[in-house]
Amino acid sequence: MFVNSGAEAVENAIKIARHATGRTGTIAFEDAFHGRTLLALSLTSKMKPYKFGFAPYAPEIYRMPYAYCYRCAFGLEYPSCELRCAYFLKDFFHTHISGEQVAALIIEPVLGEGGFVVPPKEYFKILQKICQQNEIVFIADEVQTGFGRTAKMFAIEHYEVEPDMIVMAKSLAAGFPLGGVTGRAELMDHPQVGGLGGTFSGNPVACRAALAVLDQFEKTDLLKKAGKVGKKVLDRFKEFYEHYPVVGDVRGLGAMVGMELVVDRKSKEPATTFTKRLVELCREKGLLMVSAGTHSNIIRPLMPLIITDEQLEKGLSIIEESLHELQYSQNS
């Protein structure tokens, strides 16, 4: 099903899951971002600036911790934790909502706005198995992670899991307003005729742009390029970790590489103010960046996959120069 945005894709995926299962509940995750329209906003985790002042939210949304190893909700460490965060879903059915009432579980394979958090490899297989045992629709939100961002067409491929539905947008049409919902036929065909739709859904110009995007993937091997770009950024961020104490964690999958900044590595207190200053200083030097995370203390470069080596090096050098300048002034 074609729609106009990621939020619209998310909302329709939940509608389809509810219709197909006859259930009402949806499980989402802490630090998640799924959009800004009412149901999508209700699924989104971060309060400011996204949710503040826009209540009441849609009902029947239940939230559990994500596999955020750097800030484990259970105070454990991987792999000795034995994936407690994934198996917690079984407990969740006893304390929050019965499995028989859940229509869908929606999750980002890598947190986007939540700070480029990459779960352990086993995580999604465990969640999917529990969902299958309870006949819950497993939805992968690939709006930000899809179309090569992680060096595979879809990030969920890294985990060798096939979701019941995938929602996509953003890079799908290279900036044109197009989103999509893809799922198993028995789910997608379940709603009655006329139950799904939209005024501009399947806009022909946006669809043509999406076809051009697919042509580029075939002609230029963007997936391989994403892997190379991601490795350069990850290696450089690891160097920053060695030289600047404000860097608390570095993580990534493909070209989705995040750098979490903290006041102190032991306490892991988010360095929100420092991060804001870093973004501002980089802008003054000619580099546009955006922070992420619930506490806005994570740098997530979202460079285009077609970036040149020279452009990438220039951007990374500006980050390093700005980091050095701010860390030095802070310590002096």
The 10s digit of each residue's pLDDT in 37-55 is 999 999 999 999 999 999 9
Q: Which residue from 103, 127, 102, 105 is spatially nearest to 20, judged by alpha carbons?
A: 103
CATH classification code of 222-331: 3.90.1150.10
- What integer pLDDT is reported at residue 131 of this predicted model? 98
Structurally, at CATH architecture level, domain 2-218 sits in 3-Layer(aba) Sandwich (3.40)
- What integer pLDDT is reported at residue 331 of this predicted model? 58
Show the tokens assigned to 89: 């879903």
- CATH 3.90.1150.10 domain extents, the chain: 222-331
State what percent of residues in the chain have pLDDT above 70: 99
Q: Which residue from 216, 211, 181, 208 is spatially nearest to 304, judged by alpha carbons?
A: 216
Please identify which residue in the block is written with the tokens 């006859």.
22
Radius of gyration of the chain (CA): 20
| pLDDT confidence tier of residue 69, bands split at 50, 70 and 90 | very high
Q: Residue 332 pLDDT more than 60?
A: no
Q: In what order do the strands lie in the sheet with 2-3?
A: 2-3, 179-183, 165-168, 137-141, 102-107, 25-29, 61-64
Peptide bond into 109 cis (omega under 30): no
- What integer pLDDT is reported at residue 76 of this predicted model? 98
Round to whole Å and give the CA distance between 324 and 318: 10
Q: Residue 260 pLDDT more than 90?
A: yes
What pTM was estimated for this model as a whole? 0.96
The continuous run of DSSP H or E covering 291 comes out as: strand 291-292
Q: Residue 327 pLDDT more than 90?
A: no
Calculate the average pLDDT of the chain.
96
Query: Mapping DSSP to helix (H, G, I), strand (E, B) and coil, where does residue 115 land?
Result: coil
Residue 39 burial class via C-beta count within 10 angstroms: exposed 0-12, middle 13-18, buried 19 and up = buried
| pLDDT confidence tier of residue 328, bands split at 50, 70 and 90 | confident
CA 176, 182, 187 angle in degrees (round to 5)?
145
- What integer pLDDT is reported at residue 206 of this predicted model? 97
- CATH 3.40.640.10 domain extents, the chain: 2-218
Round to whole Å and give the CA distance between 275 and 24: 39
